[in-house]
Amino acid sequence: MKRLSVSKLTLPMYSALAMVFLLIPIVYTIAFSFNDSTKRTNTEWQGFTFDKWLGVCAKPDICESLGNSLFISAVSTLIATILGTALAIGLVRYRYRARSAVNLALFLPMATPEIVLGAGLAGLFFNAGVGAGMTTVIISHVVFCLSFVVVTVKARVQTLDPVLEEAGRDLYANPNQVFWKITFPLLLPGIVSAALLSFSLSFDDFIITYFNSGSVETFPKYVYVAAARGVPAEANVIASAVFLATILIVLVAQINGAIKRKRLLKK
């Protein structure tokens, strides 16, 4: 039996340690969502209970901040996805003088540090006389997420075969019919991916939101303020639920894709 060399064990050990390091905060968050804490802090294990999950809105500030985050993320994702998809199609399909400048401008929010982008937008709103609130947060998130949507959808547009659209036009379909019956279904996987990415970035954002939200409380802001005295178990419940829901969505998508591939192979 051959002995395993140190070089062959290095990569598996490093990968295992990296996974453990990444999973420790997640395991801690899920575990302490079941903590029977009666104090304002949630840093010491007091006992196991489901009460925090069943009464997650016992502290109304948590659910209010979560509702604000969901609303902001949904609206900004919808706007960024529509604008980003149109921009991606325009950048790939059309040639015009300002095309290179538009490409550069779209990459700037991705390359700019969030603190610079957040402070710059806050200064812009202040000079324009617009008070910080829900509207300014949504506009800021659209600016931040738009670049990610364009890059994601643009990659999908570049892979489309124009012959399919030409076939639709040869069959006397008008431009609207070609777009909605051929182009849009082919772009849909990229659009959905861009929308999910945009939603997660918007929901998770703290720095840009902090500069432009004013008195509006979002879930990341609530956690940041609560962290000074110990994040309450209810916040851990929401974080755990979001994580588990994300894992469930990924699993459902993978299983659905595997089923479709099997059906295609049988045909």
Q: Is residue 134 part of a domain?
A: yes
What one-character-per-residue DSSP string does the chain give? -PPPPHHHHHHHHHHHHHHHHHHHHHHHHHHHTTB---SS---S---B-SHHHHTGGGSHHHHHHHHHHHHHHHHHHHHHHHHHHHHHHHHHH---TTHHHHHHHHHHHHHS-HHHHHHHHHHHHHHTTPPSSHHHHHHHHHHHHHHHHHHHHHHHHHT--HHHHHHHHHTT--HHHHIIIIIHHHHHHHHHHHHHHHHHHHHH--HHHHHH-TT---HHHHHHHHTTT---HHHHHHHHHHHHHHHHHHHHHHHHHHHHHHHHHH-
Q: Is residue 177 part of a domain?
A: yes
Q: What are phi and psi of 55, to 5 degrees?
A: -120, 50
Mean pLDDT of 66-72: 90
Q: Is residue 199 part of a domain?
A: yes
Report which of 116, 110, 112, 120 is spatially closest to residue 84, judged by C-alpha positions: 110
Q: How many domains does the chain have?
A: 1
pLDDT band at residue 1 using 50, 70 and 90 as cut-offs: very low
pLDDT band at residue 136 using 50, 70 and 90 as cut-offs: very high
Q: Is residue 48 part of a domain?
A: no
Amino acid at residue number 40: R
Q: Is the pLDDT of residue 54 over 60?
A: yes
Q: Is residue 22 part of a domain?
A: no
pLDDT band at residue 4 using 50, 70 and 90 as cut-offs: low
Q: Which two structure tokens, joined as six digits, stand for 36?
A: 């029977």
User: How do residues 144-160 score in pLDDT, each as one tens digit?
Assistant: 899 899 989 988 888 88
User: How do residues 164-214 score in pLDDT, each as one tens digit?
Assistant: 878 888 787 888 888 888 888 888 888 988 998 899 889 888 889 989 988
**Percent above pLDDT 70 for the chain:** 93
Rounded to an integer, what distance in angstroms lies between the CA atom of residue 199 and that of residue 136?
17
State the CB neighbour count (10 A cutoff) for residue 133: 14
Q: Is residue 76 part of a domain?
A: yes
Q: What is the pLDDT of residue 5?
A: 63
Q: What is the pLDDT of residue 76?
A: 94
- Tell me, what CATH number does 113's domain have? 1.10.3720.10
Domain span at 150: 72-226
Q: Is residue 95 part of a domain?
A: yes
Rounded to an integer, what distance in angstroms lies between the CA atom of residue 35 and that of residue 51?
9
Highest mean pLDDT among 48-52, 56-60, 121-125, 168-172: 121-125
**Average pLDDT over all residues of the chain:** 83
